[in-house]
Amino acid sequence: MILRRLETRGFRNLEDQVLDFHEGFNVFEGGNGHGKTNALEALYWIATLTPLRAGKLTELVAFGQSTCLVRAEVELDGLQHRLECGLNGPERVVRREGKATRAAAYFGVLSAILFTPEDAGLLRESPGARRRYLDRAIFTGRSSHLSVVLEHRRALRARNESLRSSSDPHLLEAFEGTLAASGARLVTARRAFVQELSAEFASAYAHVAGSGDGPVLTYEPSLDLDDPEGHALSLAADRARDRDRGFTGRGPHADDLSISLEGHPARTFASQGQQRALVLALKVAEIRRLRTLFDLTPVLLLDDVSSELDGVRNARLFEVLSDFKGQVFVTTTDSSHIKTPRPASVFEVLAGRIRGRPHP
Amino acid sequence: MLALSRLPGIGEKTATRLTFFLLHAAPEIAKELAAALGDVHERVRLCSVCCTMTEPDPCRLCADPRRDDRIVCVVESVPSQLAIERTGEFRGRYHVLHGVLSPLDGIGPEDLHLRELMVRVAAGLDEIIVATNPSVEGEATALYIQRLARPFGVKVTRIASGVPIGSDLEYADQVTLARALSGRREL
């Protein structure tokens, strides 16, 4: 997939403009606060319908305006697709090929994988961050995963509410049934994903770190069951304890993804450099898995590749990406630090205005 | 105009159009409408058997002697009931819950017309078909009814979900298709 053109209107601090992209590398260069990451956020938003940083969608709208619009032209298998998403006040408008559509029917044209400096902390963050990583990564290859996640979340909230507000055992049992059905699907999908990723992950790490420490990726379910019936029985067994606590203790919402290095948990055992390499390897494995299983080459979004932060990391990143055939977008404060393996377009970002200039 | 625009699906423009239609048309039309609306709350009530909205009690469908008393189709709302009735496939009785269990919205079993349903279960039924929507709440309501009915030994079934007939597979959304695939059957 190639993102040929992007148009933004009323988006964050960006001027209303149309950008034509290179099918290889595209570098957004500019000082802090001028809007490089906003440009990347526009790309991420139109790919995933999720903002990069904004807590509330309305933060995406430029100050003093009430609507914003991002429009993209994407080439996939020789066909031109048009995607559009915008905000009309608080209301999100999503269009594919010029027609308003539901989110479920929107995805499938453009997939993006994001690299940010915050990624390095994934191993030290809460299990919730790793679950979000898992679900997002599964979604990139199979967008229907989103509905499983949302259904599970809704059923979980309903059971928790019933635990607190009702003494009717049948009511709990009813929501345990729906929770178990979506929970089992969630566990099955995550387990399959981790298994598919594992082999690619070990070789990607060897590539990234330059050593074969043999990292192992494990999905750690708190309810080790793929079948809805077993899931429901476990929830029923937990009922008394869950009622005391006021929430559901075990299930996919309490699971974790663990990474070990030489048999020790990487979270505590690995150095910062190793942790960075592990997370980078995770993403590289993700890209390879998409190609192997779905014949899909996503767009890569690399935020804040600034050499003063970590020159070695960036050199490694670009070396690893040298065999990547797809389109890459990078933000940086200084494009001279970026040695792209292939031709690139450089865009200068100054106070919200983005101007293309030929690569020196 | 303001009163009309409070109705669902009617915006300012439609309300204006309706108002001017009523002003220009024969006065009887407006009078008939006013009369029909005026006593709607007095005349329409819930059927004492199936809880649908009706003028006669019991309702037309509950009173029809040709329908099968042993099978009851449970639906969320009157529009759902009308949709199933339009198929002409179902010749049993109905039961309208007027909602689904939703703890997050504060809707519990006592807010639905489940007591009336259990009266009918206790009187003896062969099958309950639960035709609530395929949402988290709809599925949970189906399971709840199954738990309630279990001691009475009545069979509880759930309608299937999948791809709409007459539409192309390519137009079905991914969620519906995924569900249809997981619910496949052997030929």
pLDDT at A306: 60
Average pLDDT over residues B129-146: 94
**For A170, which of B147, B174, B175 is closest by C-beta distance?**
B147
Q: What is the pTM of this model?
A: 0.82
Q: Which residues in chain B touch residue A177, judged by CB atoms under 8 angstroms apart?
A: 139-140, 143
Q: In chain B, positions 42-101, which contact chain A (CB-CB < 8 Å)?
A: 101
**For B104, which of A102, A158, A170 is closest by C-beta distance?**
A158
Q: In chain A, positions 98-117, which contact chain B (CB-CB < 8 Å)?
A: 102, 104-105, 107-108
Judge whether residue A317 has pLDDT over 80.
no
Kind of pairing, strands A67-76 and A25-29?
Answer: unpaired
Span A38-91, pLDDT tens digits: 999 999 999 999 888 867 888 899 988 899 999 999 999 889 999 999 999 888
Instruction: Kindly state the tokens that stand for A152.
Output: 């599970």
Find out whether B79 and B97 touch, Cβ atoms under 8 Å: no
- Which architecture does CATH list for A1-111+298-360? 3-Layer(aba) Sandwich (3.40)
Find out whether A321 and A330 touch, Cβ atoms under 8 Å: no
pLDDT at A358: 62
* 3-state DSSP assignment of residue B177: helix
Q: Does A243 touch chain B (CB under 8 A)?
A: no
Judge whether residue A276 has pLDDT over 90.
no
How close does chain B come to A172, measured CA to CA in Å? 9
The CATH code of domain A124-294 reads: 1.20.1050.90
Find out whether A5 and A19 touch, Cβ atoms under 8 Å: yes
Judge whether residue B183 has pLDDT over 90.
no
Judge whether residue A341 has pLDDT over 90.
no
Q: How far apart are CA A304 and CA A127, in angstroms?
A: 25
Span B90-111, pLDDT tens digits: 999 999 999 999 999 999 999 9
Judge whether residue B167 has pLDDT over 60.
yes
User: Among A51, A29, A34, which residue's Cα sits nearest to residue A42?
Assistant: A51
User: Are B103 and A181 an interchain contact pair (Cβ–Cβ within 8 Å)?
Assistant: no
Judge whether residue B163 has pLDDT over 90.
no
Q: Which residues in chain A touch residue B104, judged by CB atoms under 8 angstroms apart?
A: 154, 157-158, 161
User: Are A168 and B109 an interchain contact pair (Cβ–Cβ within 8 Å)?
Assistant: yes
Q: How far apart are CA A114 and CA A129, in angstroms?
A: 15
Q: Which residues in chain A touch residue B74, judged by CB atoms under 8 angstroms apart?
A: none
Instruction: Kindly state the tokens that stand for B173.
Output: 């959304």
Domains of chain B: 67-158 (3.40.1360.10)
pLDDT at A224: 75
User: Are A162 and B102 an interchain contact pair (Cβ–Cβ within 8 Å)?
Assistant: no
pLDDT at A314: 67
How close does chain B come to A312, measured CA to CA in Å? 42
The sign one gets for the Cα dihedral A267, A272, A273, A277 is positive
Q: Which residue has the higher pLDDT, B160 or A20?
A: A20
Kind of pairing, strands A99-100 and A91-96?
Answer: antiparallel
Judge whether residue B129 has pLDDT over 60.
yes
pLDDT at B169: 77
Residue A183, number of CB atoms within 10 A of its CB:
31
Span A216-229, pLDDT tens digits: 999 999 987 778 88
Average pLDDT over residues B8-24: 89
- Which residue of A96, A99, A102, A144 to mutate against B (max B Cβ within 10 Å)? A144
Q: Which residue has the higher pLDDT, B80 or B163?
A: B80
DSSP secondary structure string, A293-353?
HH---PEEEE----TTT-HHHHHHHHHHGGG--S-EEEEES-GGG---SS-EEEEEEETTE
**For B174, which of A104, A154, A173 is closest by C-beta distance?**
A104
**For B139, which of A159, A173, A178 is closest by C-beta distance?**
A178
User: Are B108 and A168 an interchain contact pair (Cβ–Cβ within 8 Å)?
Assistant: yes
How close does chain B come to A9, measured CA to CA in Å? 28
Q: In chain A, positions 151-190, which contact chain B (CB-CB < 8 Å)?
A: 151, 154-155, 157-159, 161-162, 165-166, 168, 170-171, 173-175, 177-178, 181-182
pLDDT at A160: 94
pLDDT at A86: 94
* Amino acid, res. A203: S
pLDDT at B5: 84
What is the Cα A284 distance to its own chain's centre? Answer: 13
Instruction: Give A126: exposed, middle or buried? Use CB within 10 Å, 0-12, 13-18, 19+.
Output: exposed
Same CATH topology for A1-111+298-360 and A124-294? no
- Which residue of B100, B152, B161, B173 to mutate against A (max A Cβ within 10 Å)? B173
Judge whether residue A313 has pLDDT over 80.
no
Mean pLDDT for all residues in chain A? 88
Q: Does B102 touch chain A (CB under 8 A)?
A: yes
- Which residue of B110, B175, B181 to mutate against A (max A Cβ within 10 Å)? B175
Residue A75, number of CB atoms within 10 A of its CB:
16
Chains A, B: CB pairs < 8 Å: 69
Judge whether residue A244 has pLDDT over 60.
yes
Residue B107 has phi, psi (to 5 degrees) of -100, 110
> Which has the minimum average pLDDT: A15-24, A206-215, A349-358, B104-113?
A206-215
pLDDT confidence bin for A167, thresholds 50/70/90: confident
pLDDT confidence bin for A212, thresholds 50/70/90: low
> Which has the minimum average pLDDT: A143-147, A175-179, A326-330, B124-128?
A143-147
Q: Which residues in chain A touch residue B103, judged by CB atoms under 8 angstroms apart?
A: 158-159, 161-162, 165-166, 171, 175
Please report, for chain A, the start and end positions of each structural domain, with discontinuous segments joined by +: 1-111+298-360, 124-294
Judge whether residue A309 has pLDDT over 60.
no
pLDDT confidence bin for A178, thresholds 50/70/90: very high
ipTM over 0.85: no
